[in-house]
Amino acid sequence: MHFETLAIHDGQAPDPQTGSVTVPVYQTSTFGRDSLDERSEFFYSRIGNPTRKALEESLALLENGKYGLAFGSGVAATMAALQVLKPGDHIVAGNDIYGGSYRIFEQLLRPWGVTTSYTDNESMESYEACITPATKLIWIETPSNPLLQLCDIRALASLAKERGILLAVDNTFASPYFQRPLELGADIVVHSTTKYLGGHSDVIGGAVITSETAIHTAIKNYQGAAGAVPGPWDCWLILRGLKTLKIRMKEHEATAMHLAKMLEGHPAVEQVFYPGLASHPQHELAKTQMSGFGGMVTFSLKGGLPAVKKLLATIKLFVLADSLGGVESLISSPAKMTLWALSQAERDRRKCTDNLVRLSVGLENAEDLEADLLNALGTP
Protein backbone atom coordinates (compact mmCIF):
# COMPACT_ATOMS: atom_id res chain seq x y z
CA MET A 1 0.00 0.00 0.00
CA HIS A 2 1.02 3.62 -0.47
CA PHE A 3 2.36 5.77 2.35
CA GLU A 4 -0.76 7.84 2.93
CA THR A 5 -2.95 4.73 3.10
CA LEU A 6 -0.67 3.15 5.68
CA ALA A 7 -0.67 6.36 7.70
CA ILE A 8 -4.46 6.34 7.97
CA HIS A 9 -5.29 2.65 8.28
CA ASP A 10 -2.52 0.27 9.36
CA GLY A 11 -2.33 -0.09 13.12
CA GLN A 12 -5.47 2.02 13.42
CA ALA A 13 -8.37 -0.31 12.60
CA PRO A 14 -11.83 0.62 13.95
CA ASP A 15 -12.25 -0.27 17.62
CA PRO A 16 -13.68 -3.84 17.75
CA GLN A 17 -15.90 -3.07 20.76
CA THR A 18 -17.54 0.15 19.60
CA GLY A 19 -16.66 0.58 15.92
CA SER A 20 -14.92 3.91 16.61
CA VAL A 21 -12.97 4.84 13.48
CA THR A 22 -10.29 6.56 15.56
CA VAL A 23 -8.24 4.67 18.12
CA PRO A 24 -9.73 5.30 21.58
CA VAL A 25 -7.71 7.10 24.24
CA TYR A 26 -7.24 4.45 26.91
CA GLN A 27 -6.81 6.94 29.74
CA THR A 28 -6.02 4.42 32.43
CA SER A 29 -3.00 3.57 34.54
CA THR A 30 -3.91 -0.05 35.13
CA PHE A 31 -6.09 -2.87 33.77
CA GLY A 32 -8.20 -5.46 35.59
CA ARG A 33 -7.10 -9.10 35.55
CA ASP A 34 -9.39 -12.08 35.11
CA SER A 35 -7.52 -14.15 37.69
CA LEU A 36 -4.30 -14.35 39.64
CA ASP A 37 -2.93 -16.94 37.23
CA GLU A 38 -3.66 -14.98 34.03
CA ARG A 39 -2.18 -11.76 32.71
CA SER A 40 -3.40 -10.18 29.49
CA GLU A 41 -1.29 -8.14 27.10
CA PHE A 42 -2.21 -4.95 28.95
CA PHE A 43 -1.94 -4.82 32.72
CA TYR A 44 -0.10 -1.56 33.54
CA SER A 45 0.23 1.44 31.21
CA ARG A 46 3.92 1.98 31.80
CA ILE A 47 4.49 -1.46 30.28
CA GLY A 48 1.85 -1.26 27.57
CA ASN A 49 -1.26 0.67 26.60
CA PRO A 50 -3.58 0.05 23.60
CA THR A 51 -3.32 3.65 22.37
CA ARG A 52 0.46 3.54 22.58
CA LYS A 53 0.53 0.17 20.85
CA ALA A 54 -1.44 1.61 17.91
CA LEU A 55 1.05 4.46 17.61
CA GLU A 56 4.06 2.14 17.82
CA GLU A 57 2.67 -0.14 15.13
CA SER A 58 1.91 2.79 12.86
CA LEU A 59 5.39 4.29 13.30
CA ALA A 60 7.02 0.96 12.46
CA LEU A 61 4.95 0.60 9.31
CA LEU A 62 5.71 4.12 8.08
CA GLU A 63 9.46 3.54 8.51
CA ASN A 64 9.13 0.06 6.97
CA GLY A 65 10.43 -1.49 10.19
CA LYS A 66 9.25 -4.42 12.29
CA TYR A 67 9.18 -2.73 15.68
CA GLY A 68 8.23 0.71 16.92
CA LEU A 69 8.61 2.07 20.44
CA ALA A 70 7.20 5.37 21.66
CA PHE A 71 8.73 7.61 24.31
CA GLY A 72 7.88 10.75 26.23
CA SER A 73 10.24 12.99 24.21
CA GLY A 74 12.80 12.92 21.45
CA VAL A 75 15.72 12.93 23.89
CA ALA A 76 14.07 10.08 25.83
CA ALA A 77 13.97 8.12 22.58
CA THR A 78 17.63 8.97 21.95
CA MET A 79 18.62 7.79 25.42
CA ALA A 80 16.63 4.59 24.90
CA ALA A 81 18.30 3.86 21.56
CA LEU A 82 21.70 4.18 23.25
CA GLN A 83 20.87 1.36 25.64
CA VAL A 84 22.39 -1.02 23.11
CA LEU A 85 25.74 0.25 24.47
CA LYS A 86 27.67 -0.54 27.64
CA PRO A 87 30.56 1.12 29.51
CA GLY A 88 33.72 0.97 27.44
CA ASP A 89 31.91 1.32 24.13
CA HIS A 90 32.59 4.13 21.67
CA ILE A 91 30.29 6.21 19.43
CA VAL A 92 31.14 8.02 16.22
CA ALA A 93 28.75 10.94 15.75
CA GLY A 94 28.27 13.49 13.02
CA ASN A 95 29.73 16.95 13.38
CA ASP A 96 26.43 18.80 13.09
CA ILE A 97 23.93 17.22 15.48
CA TYR A 98 21.11 18.37 17.74
CA GLY A 99 22.34 20.01 20.93
CA GLY A 100 20.22 17.67 23.06
CA SER A 101 21.95 14.64 21.56
CA TYR A 102 25.34 16.23 22.19
CA ARG A 103 24.44 16.82 25.84
CA ILE A 104 23.42 13.18 26.21
CA PHE A 105 26.73 12.01 24.75
CA GLU A 106 28.84 14.37 26.86
CA GLN A 107 26.93 14.88 30.11
CA LEU A 108 25.26 11.49 30.56
CA LEU A 109 27.14 8.83 28.60
CA ARG A 110 30.75 9.99 29.03
CA PRO A 111 30.62 9.82 32.87
CA TRP A 112 29.04 6.37 32.44
CA GLY A 113 32.06 5.21 30.43
CA VAL A 114 30.73 5.54 26.86
CA THR A 115 32.84 7.94 24.80
CA THR A 116 32.03 9.81 21.58
CA SER A 117 34.18 11.12 18.75
CA TYR A 118 32.79 13.70 16.32
CA THR A 119 33.61 13.83 12.64
CA ASP A 120 35.16 16.88 11.00
CA ASN A 121 32.63 16.72 8.17
CA GLU A 122 30.09 14.37 6.61
CA SER A 123 32.50 12.53 4.31
CA MET A 124 33.00 8.79 4.54
CA GLU A 125 36.69 9.40 5.19
CA SER A 126 35.90 11.50 8.23
CA TYR A 127 33.63 8.83 9.71
CA GLU A 128 36.13 6.07 9.00
CA ALA A 129 38.95 8.03 10.62
CA CYS A 130 37.01 8.21 13.89
CA ILE A 131 36.34 4.47 14.20
CA THR A 132 38.29 2.62 16.88
CA PRO A 133 38.24 -1.03 18.01
CA ALA A 134 35.75 0.04 20.71
CA THR A 135 33.31 1.67 18.29
CA LYS A 136 29.88 0.05 18.55
CA LEU A 137 27.59 2.74 17.09
CA ILE A 138 27.58 5.43 14.41
CA TRP A 139 25.04 8.19 15.13
CA ILE A 140 23.97 10.57 12.37
CA GLU A 141 21.37 13.19 11.54
CA THR A 142 20.55 13.66 7.89
CA PRO A 143 19.57 16.37 7.12
CA SER A 144 21.41 17.72 10.16
CA ASN A 145 20.47 20.41 12.63
CA PRO A 146 21.00 23.29 11.91
CA LEU A 147 23.23 23.25 8.80
CA LEU A 148 21.16 20.71 6.84
CA GLN A 149 24.18 18.60 5.92
CA LEU A 150 23.61 15.11 4.54
CA CYS A 151 25.23 11.76 5.27
CA ASP A 152 25.34 8.96 2.72
CA ILE A 153 23.21 6.44 4.61
CA ARG A 154 23.86 3.56 2.22
CA ALA A 155 27.63 4.03 2.31
CA LEU A 156 27.73 4.43 6.09
CA ALA A 157 25.51 1.38 6.56
CA SER A 158 27.88 -0.66 4.41
CA LEU A 159 30.90 0.59 6.35
CA ALA A 160 29.20 -0.11 9.66
CA LYS A 161 28.23 -3.65 8.72
CA GLU A 162 31.78 -4.41 7.55
CA ARG A 163 33.07 -3.36 10.98
CA GLY A 164 30.28 -4.94 13.06
CA ILE A 165 28.98 -1.50 14.09
CA LEU A 166 25.37 -0.38 14.41
CA LEU A 167 24.09 2.65 12.47
CA ALA A 168 21.47 4.90 14.07
CA VAL A 169 19.80 7.71 12.12
CA ASP A 170 17.88 10.62 13.59
CA ASN A 171 15.26 11.06 10.86
CA THR A 172 13.35 13.92 12.49
CA PHE A 173 14.02 16.58 9.84
CA ALA A 174 13.13 14.41 6.83
CA SER A 175 10.25 12.39 8.34
CA PRO A 176 9.48 8.90 7.00
CA TYR A 177 7.56 10.48 4.14
CA PHE A 178 10.75 11.84 2.58
CA GLN A 179 13.31 9.33 3.87
CA ARG A 180 13.33 5.79 5.31
CA PRO A 181 16.80 4.96 6.64
CA LEU A 182 16.02 1.32 7.45
CA GLU A 183 15.48 0.71 3.73
CA LEU A 184 18.95 2.16 3.12
CA GLY A 185 20.66 -0.16 5.60
CA ALA A 186 20.40 1.61 8.96
CA ASP A 187 19.77 -0.47 12.09
CA ILE A 188 17.93 2.10 14.21
CA VAL A 189 15.79 5.14 13.39
CA VAL A 190 15.00 7.81 15.98
CA HIS A 191 12.39 10.57 15.82
CA SER A 192 11.31 13.48 17.88
CA THR A 193 7.60 12.95 17.25
CA THR A 194 7.14 16.43 18.70
CA LYS A 195 8.08 17.74 15.28
CA TYR A 196 6.69 16.71 11.88
CA LEU A 197 5.02 13.47 13.00
CA GLY A 198 2.87 15.28 15.56
CA GLY A 199 2.85 18.31 13.32
CA HIS A 200 0.78 20.74 15.35
CA SER A 201 3.12 22.04 18.10
CA ASP A 202 0.87 20.59 20.79
CA VAL A 203 2.60 17.41 21.97
CA ILE A 204 6.01 16.19 23.12
CA GLY A 205 7.14 12.70 22.11
CA GLY A 206 9.81 10.47 20.63
CA ALA A 207 10.14 7.13 18.87
CA VAL A 208 12.65 4.40 18.07
CA ILE A 209 12.09 2.04 15.12
CA THR A 210 14.12 -1.04 14.19
CA SER A 211 13.77 -4.35 12.39
CA GLU A 212 16.32 -6.15 14.57
CA THR A 213 14.72 -8.31 17.27
CA ALA A 214 17.68 -8.14 19.66
CA ILE A 215 17.80 -4.33 19.42
CA HIS A 216 14.06 -4.09 19.95
CA THR A 217 14.22 -6.37 22.99
CA ALA A 218 16.97 -4.30 24.64
CA ILE A 219 15.19 -0.99 24.04
CA LYS A 220 11.78 -2.41 24.97
CA ASN A 221 13.19 -3.63 28.28
CA TYR A 222 14.60 -0.17 28.93
CA GLN A 223 11.26 1.44 28.02
CA GLY A 224 9.43 -0.61 30.64
CA ALA A 225 12.11 -0.29 33.30
CA ALA A 226 12.93 3.41 32.91
CA GLY A 227 9.34 4.44 32.17
CA ALA A 228 9.96 7.43 29.88
CA VAL A 229 6.73 6.66 28.03
CA PRO A 230 4.14 8.99 26.52
CA GLY A 231 0.65 9.13 27.98
CA PRO A 232 -2.26 7.82 25.92
CA TRP A 233 -3.51 11.29 25.04
CA ASP A 234 -0.09 12.26 23.69
CA CYS A 235 -0.03 9.04 21.65
CA TRP A 236 -3.46 9.85 20.24
CA LEU A 237 -2.33 13.35 19.20
CA ILE A 238 0.67 11.92 17.35
CA LEU A 239 -1.56 9.31 15.68
CA ARG A 240 -3.77 12.16 14.49
CA GLY A 241 -0.73 13.93 13.08
CA LEU A 242 0.44 10.87 11.14
CA LYS A 243 -2.76 10.81 9.11
CA THR A 244 -1.97 14.13 7.42
CA LEU A 245 1.81 13.71 7.24
CA LYS A 246 2.00 13.31 3.46
CA ILE A 247 -0.12 16.38 2.76
CA ARG A 248 1.75 18.52 5.26
CA MET A 249 5.24 17.45 4.17
CA LYS A 250 4.51 18.21 0.52
CA GLU A 251 3.30 21.70 1.43
CA HIS A 252 6.22 22.31 3.82
CA GLU A 253 8.62 21.34 1.06
CA ALA A 254 6.99 23.40 -1.70
CA THR A 255 7.06 26.59 0.36
CA ALA A 256 10.55 25.90 1.73
CA MET A 257 11.87 25.58 -1.82
CA HIS A 258 10.15 28.82 -2.80
CA LEU A 259 11.70 30.71 0.13
CA ALA A 260 15.13 29.12 -0.28
CA LYS A 261 15.32 30.28 -3.91
CA MET A 262 14.24 33.78 -2.91
CA LEU A 263 16.78 33.96 -0.08
CA GLU A 264 19.58 32.68 -2.32
CA GLY A 265 19.17 35.72 -4.54
CA HIS A 266 18.79 38.30 -1.76
CA PRO A 267 21.73 40.71 -1.34
CA ALA A 268 21.56 40.58 2.49
CA VAL A 269 22.00 36.80 2.53
CA GLU A 270 25.47 35.27 2.63
CA GLN A 271 24.55 31.60 2.10
CA VAL A 272 21.46 29.39 2.03
CA PHE A 273 21.49 25.82 3.34
CA TYR A 274 18.73 23.75 1.76
CA PRO A 275 19.26 20.32 0.16
CA GLY A 276 16.71 21.07 -2.55
CA LEU A 277 18.91 23.79 -4.05
CA ALA A 278 21.35 22.84 -6.79
CA SER A 279 23.95 24.91 -4.91
CA HIS A 280 23.81 22.57 -1.89
CA PRO A 281 27.02 20.50 -1.96
CA GLN A 282 25.07 17.28 -1.35
CA HIS A 283 22.11 18.02 -3.60
CA GLU A 284 22.76 14.97 -5.77
CA LEU A 285 23.01 12.72 -2.70
CA ALA A 286 19.72 14.13 -1.46
CA LYS A 287 18.06 13.11 -4.71
CA THR A 288 19.28 9.51 -4.31
CA GLN A 289 18.21 8.87 -0.71
CA MET A 290 15.30 11.28 -0.18
CA SER A 291 12.02 11.59 -2.04
CA GLY A 292 11.76 15.26 -1.06
CA PHE A 293 13.88 17.94 0.60
CA GLY A 294 11.87 18.87 3.69
CA GLY A 295 10.60 22.05 5.25
CA MET A 296 13.70 23.34 7.06
CA VAL A 297 15.80 26.20 5.63
CA THR A 298 18.89 27.72 7.24
CA PHE A 299 20.68 30.81 5.98
CA SER A 300 23.45 33.15 7.08
CA LEU A 301 23.26 36.94 7.01
CA LYS A 302 26.06 39.24 5.88
CA GLY A 303 25.57 41.62 8.80
CA GLY A 304 26.39 39.10 11.53
CA LEU A 305 24.52 38.92 14.84
CA PRO A 306 23.23 42.54 14.65
CA ALA A 307 21.53 41.68 11.35
CA VAL A 308 20.02 38.56 12.90
CA LYS A 309 18.66 40.55 15.84
CA LYS A 310 17.17 43.15 13.50
CA LEU A 311 15.52 40.43 11.40
CA LEU A 312 14.05 38.69 14.47
CA ALA A 313 12.75 41.99 15.86
CA THR A 314 11.03 42.88 12.58
CA ILE A 315 9.59 39.58 11.36
CA LYS A 316 5.83 39.14 11.91
CA LEU A 317 4.50 35.81 10.62
CA PHE A 318 7.47 33.68 11.67
CA VAL A 319 7.26 33.03 15.42
CA LEU A 320 10.53 33.22 17.35
CA ALA A 321 10.58 29.77 18.97
CA ASP A 322 12.85 26.80 19.60
CA SER A 323 10.95 23.94 17.98
CA LEU A 324 10.07 22.99 14.41
CA GLY A 325 7.78 20.91 12.23
CA GLY A 326 4.45 22.52 13.10
CA VAL A 327 1.79 24.09 10.91
CA GLU A 328 2.98 27.57 11.88
CA SER A 329 6.27 28.97 10.61
CA LEU A 330 8.99 29.35 13.23
CA ILE A 331 12.31 31.19 13.20
CA SER A 332 15.33 30.81 15.46
CA SER A 333 18.98 31.67 16.00
CA PRO A 334 20.75 28.30 16.35
CA ALA A 335 23.77 29.84 18.10
CA LYS A 336 21.67 31.64 20.70
CA MET A 337 18.77 29.20 21.05
CA THR A 338 18.94 25.53 20.08
CA LEU A 339 22.72 25.30 20.65
CA TRP A 340 23.05 27.93 23.37
CA ALA A 341 24.27 25.38 25.96
CA LEU A 342 27.33 24.47 23.88
CA SER A 343 30.60 26.28 24.44
CA GLN A 344 31.72 28.90 21.95
CA ALA A 345 34.57 26.59 20.95
CA GLU A 346 32.15 23.76 20.23
CA ARG A 347 29.87 26.03 18.20
CA ASP A 348 32.90 27.27 16.26
CA ARG A 349 33.96 23.68 15.55
CA ARG A 350 30.51 22.96 14.16
CA LYS A 351 30.51 26.19 12.11
CA CYS A 352 27.40 27.29 13.98
CA THR A 353 28.07 30.98 13.57
CA ASP A 354 26.17 33.87 15.13
CA ASN A 355 24.83 34.98 11.75
CA LEU A 356 22.82 31.79 11.17
CA VAL A 357 19.02 31.86 11.01
CA ARG A 358 16.92 28.68 10.93
CA LEU A 359 13.42 28.57 9.47
CA SER A 360 10.82 25.91 10.09
CA VAL A 361 8.53 26.64 7.16
CA GLY A 362 4.88 26.14 8.05
CA LEU A 363 1.69 25.86 6.05
CA GLU A 364 0.91 29.54 5.55
CA ASN A 365 0.67 31.00 2.06
CA ALA A 366 4.12 31.08 0.44
CA GLU A 367 3.68 34.63 -0.87
CA ASP A 368 2.73 35.90 2.60
CA LEU A 369 5.83 34.30 4.13
CA GLU A 370 8.01 35.68 1.36
CA ALA A 371 6.68 39.20 1.88
CA ASP A 372 7.30 38.92 5.63
CA LEU A 373 10.89 37.82 5.10
CA LEU A 374 11.58 40.51 2.49
CA ASN A 375 10.20 43.20 4.77
CA ALA A 376 12.29 41.97 7.70
CA LEU A 377 15.46 41.64 5.62
CA GLY A 378 15.08 45.16 4.30
CA THR A 379 17.75 46.79 2.18
CA PRO A 380 21.34 45.87 3.11
Q: Which residues are tagged catalytic? A: 46, 98, 170, 195
- 167 φ, ψ to 5°? -115, 120
CA angle (176, 179, 180) in 5-degree steps: 70
Which residues are CB-neighbours of 259 under 8 A, at least 6 positions away? 297, 359, 361, 366, 369, 370, 373
Q: Taking Cα atoms as reference points, which of 278, 99, 256, 249 lies closest to residue 174?
A: 249
Which residues does residue 116 pair with via DSSP β-bridges, in sequence order? Answer: 91
Separation CA 164–CA 158 (nearest Å): 10
E strand or H helix at 358, and its extent?
strand 356-360
HEC sequence for 291-339:
CCCCCEEEEEECCHHHHHHHHHHHCCCCEECCCCCCCCCEEECCCCCCC
Separation CA 378–CA 359 (nearest Å): 17
